[in-house]
Amino acid sequence: MKSFDAIVIGGGQAGPFLAARMVEKGMKVALIERKFLGGTCVNAGCMPTKTLVASARAAYVARNSAVYGVNIPGEIAIDMKVVRARAETVTMNARNGLIGWFAGMDGMTVIYGHARFEDPKTVSVNGETLTAPRIFLNVGARPVIPDLPGINDIDYLTSTSIIHLDTLPRHLAVIGGSYIGLEFAQMYRRFGAEVSVIEHGPKLASREDEDISDAIADVLRSEGIDIHTGVSDIAFARSSDGITVATDSARIDASHVLIATGRKPNTDDLGLDAAGVITDKHGYITVDDTLATNVEGIWALGDCNGHGAFTHTSYNDFEIAAANLLDGADRKLSSRILAYALYIDPPLGRVGMTEKQARASGRKIMISTRPMSRVGRANERGETKGFMKVIADAETKKILGAAILGIEGDEVIHGIIDAMNAGTTYPALQWSVPIHPTVSELIPTVLGDLKPV
C-alpha cells in the first residue's frame, strides 16, 4: 500500500489546482485521472466548443460582410477538417501544459486509471492500493442519454463526440433546447448545415425568464434554425440517407442527431458505498457548506457535487477548499453568487436571480430593461439583437440579478457580478463614469431606469 498526504480523484478544474497548492505546502499528493487531465473544460467543453464557436462566427461575419461595405467574391466555404484541427490544437496545448506542469512538481504523482474506494481512507487503481487521510473527488459529469424509442438503433452524437466531426452534417437534429444544444445548433447552422432543435419543455433555456427565452428563440430563428418546443413524443429510425426523427408535431429527415438533454455525475462506479459517501437521487455527492461530504476526510469538488456545472464554479470550489484547509480561512459555498453565460451569438450573460425567482422570494423588487437597439456600440457594430435586464431590491437597493443578452453580454455582465459580490447598491453604480462608446456604459442608465413592480 502506498501512502500519501492527499489523494485527488479526477483531473478537472478543481482537484489538480488543489493538488498543486498542497504540493507547494510540502505534501505528497497522488492525482488519479482515468482519461485526460483538464476535465470537461479542456477536453470536451469550454475550450474546444468556444474555438468552434469562433470559427462559426468567422463564417457568419464573412457571409454578411457586404452589410459593412466589404465584398467577398464567391461562396464562403467551410473546411471542417481545419475547423476540427484548430479546436483539437487548442485542447492539446492546454492538456499538454497541465502534463508538463505536474511533471515538474516534486511531491506530485500522476496516475492514469480508474480509481475505486476500498474504504474511507483507501482507493485502488490499476491493481495498486493507495491510502491518504484526505481524499478529494473531482470526477465531473457526462452526457445523459434518454431512453427514447429507437435511440439504440441510430448512431447519435453527444457534446463529447460532436467536437470530433470533420464533415458537415446535411441536417443536424438537436435533441434538447438548453445551453449546450443551442450553442451547437447555431454553430452548425453557421457552418452551413440545416438545423432543427427539439425541446420537450415549453421554451428554450428553461432556466431563464420567458422574455429571455423568447429573445433567444428569435435570434436562432432569424438564422434559419427550425425550433420545436413542447414536444412530448420523440422516436428515431434509420432511413435510406440518414435518420428519421418523428415527433408528435413533425417529421425531420436528419443526417445527424445530437443528444443534448443534460448531464449526470460520474459517481456510479467509484465504490462510494465502500466509503460510506452519500449521494442524492441524481447521483450528486452531498456536501456541506465547506464541500465536505458526510464522511470525515472526503470532499467533493466540481460538477459531481451538484452545486454548479461550470468551469468557474469548479475552480471556485478549489478556492474554497484551499482557503479553508491550507490558509486558515472560513469560506463557504453558500456565499457564492452564481453567474454563467450562454455562448450563442449574441451571448447571454447572467448573474443572480431571474425575475421569476425574485418575484417568488416575496421581496419588493424593481426592474429595468433596455433593448440593445438603444445601445450606441451595438448600433455601430450592427449587432442590435437582444436586451439588458436588471432586477433590484426596492428596500435594500441591492442588485438581485441581471441578464444581458446582446453584443458582449458575457463580458458586460461582469460589472454587475462585481457590484453584487462587493455588496454595492445600485444608486452608487449610477455615479460611475463609464467609457464611451462601450456596451458597459449603459449599465448606469439601465440602473437609473429601475421601476417598482
Catalytic residues: 436
Phi then psi for 234, rounded to 5 degrees?
Answer: -135, 135
For residue 373, which phi and psi values (nearest 5 degrees)?
A: -65, -15
Burial of 8 (0-12, 13-18, 19+ CB in 10 A): buried
The answer to whether the beta carbons of residues 57 and 345 sit under 8 Å apart is yes
Instruction: Give helix 179-191 / helix 210-222 axis angle, nearest 10°.
Output: 20
* Residues in Cβ contact with 93 at an 8 Å cutoff, skipping those fewer than 6 apart: none
Output the CA–CA distances (angstroms, integers) from residue 137 to 12, 33, 87, 338, in the order listed. Answer: 10, 11, 28, 22
Burial of 39-55, coded b for 16+ CB within 10 Å and e otherwise, reads: bbbbbbbbbbbebbbbb
Q: At what angle do helices 80-103 and 46-63 cross, to 10 degrees?
A: 150
Q: Is 79 helix (H, G, I), strand (E, B) or coil?
A: coil
- For residues 120 and 7, give the distance between their C-alpha atoms in angstroms, rounded to a whole number: 12
CA distance 286 to 219: 38
- DSSP at 26: T
Rounded distance, CA 61 to CA 66, Å? 9
Closest C-alpha to 44, from 132, 128, 143, 159? 159
Q: Whose CA is closest to 246, among 266, 263, 228?
A: 228
* Contact present, 108 and 31 (Cβ < 8 Å): yes
Which residue from 94, 116, 98 is spatially nearest to 108, judged by alpha carbons? 98
Residue 101: phi and psi, rounded to 5, are -60, -50
